[in-house]
Chains A and B, each alone.
Chain A
């Protein structure tokens, strides 16, 4: 199990880095799809099957297809992006190092909490239980999520209607 975890983590982090470092936006999108699939693999390791399937459908299916459509619509599949100035990129690397250092140092120094961990054995992540929790306890946020999706749909249509700044 630990080997599977390490392989999946390596794929996740490696493809995430390649997403950022590759020049061509299409390659970035494809690496990001691989990253999402490996995260779905992590969900499967947690035995959260429904979440893994939903993750693949929503992220790899919907969001990445939308991004690929936009990239192809804007004809961005060429490597003509000028890089940021050396100073800005150097600052970005320094920021990455500092954020990673502070967060990792915090969590490494924290007390390990896993030792007294007990498995209760009850079912908590099957589709049946999740549906009950979602539609009983979290009924109101569920409805608000539907309102949010409706509003964002209308907003996307309105924003992408043809209009010019100068007119």
Chain B
């Protein structure tokens, strides 16, 4: 089986992951809805995972893919706790607008 990186080149994957990460950063800055901000964080995590798999294929080493498994486990745990926090916020404030969480500002 010929390696995919000989046909596509790892540069293209670096550019794709960079753009995807930037889209995630843009989403966190652009939206007020906390759930959409969570989705943007997932996009950023996926960009990093994609680059890890690309370099795992480049070095022909399984460690990169194993690291992606751990990253997925951490992402699942993060989403569970984060959504629980959002539900608690919604119960108390009746919205999840990020601008209504200003109490620490004093």
A-B pairs under 8 A by CB, number: 224
Find out whether the CB atom of A92 lies under 8 angstroms from the CB atom of B22.
Answer: no
Within 8 A of A (CB), among B39-76: 39-40, 42-43, 46, 49-50, 53-54, 56-58, 60-63, 65-66, 68-70, 72-76
Contacts of A149 in B (CB 8 A): 73, 76-77
Interface string of A95-114 (1 = CB under 8 A from B): 11001100110011000111
Report A131-167 residues with CB < 8 Å from chain B CB: 133-134, 137-138, 141, 145, 148-149, 151-153, 155-157, 159-160, 162-165
Contact between chains at A25 and B36 (CB < 8 Å): yes
Whether the Cβ atoms of B62 and A95 lie closer than 8 Å is no
Q: Is the CB of A148 within 8 A of B77?
A: yes
Minimum distance in angstroms from B64 CB to a CB of chain A: 9
How long is the Cα–Cα vector from A48 to B76 in the complex, in angstroms?
20
Chain B 3-26 per-residue mask, 1 if CB under 8 angstroms from chain A, else 0: 111111111101110111111111
B1 to chain A: closest residue by CB: A47
Q: What is the CB-to-nearest-CB distance from B93 to chain A, in angstroms, rounded to a whole number?
A: 9
Nearest residue, chain A, Cβ from B39: A32
Whole-angstrom CA separation of A117 from B63 in the bound complex: 19
Interface residues of A in 1-23 (CB under 8 A from B): 1-2, 5, 9, 12-13, 16-17, 19-20
Q: What residues on A are CB-neighbors of B46 within 8 Å?
A: 35-36, 39, 59
| Interface size counted on chain A using CB atoms at 8 A | 85
> Which residues does B use to contact A, with CB under 8 Å?
1-12, 14-16, 18-27, 29-33, 35-36, 38-40, 42-43, 46, 49-50, 53-54, 56-58, 60-63, 65-66, 68-70, 72-81, 83-88, 90-92, 96-97, 99
6 inter-chain pairs at a CB distance below 8 angstroms, sorted by A residue, are A20-B39, A29-B39, A100-B19, A103-B18, A156-B80, A159-B81
A interface, CB within 8 angstroms of B = 1-2, 5, 9, 12-13, 16-17, 19-20, 25, 28-29, 32, 35-36, 39, 42-43, 45-48, 51, 54-55, 58-59, 62-63, 66-67, 70-71, 73-74, 76, 81-84, 88-89, 91-93, 95-96, 99-100, 103-104, 107-108, 112-114, 117, 119-120, 122, 124-125, 129-130, 133-134, 137-138, 141, 145, 148-149, 151-153, 155-157, 159-160, 162-165
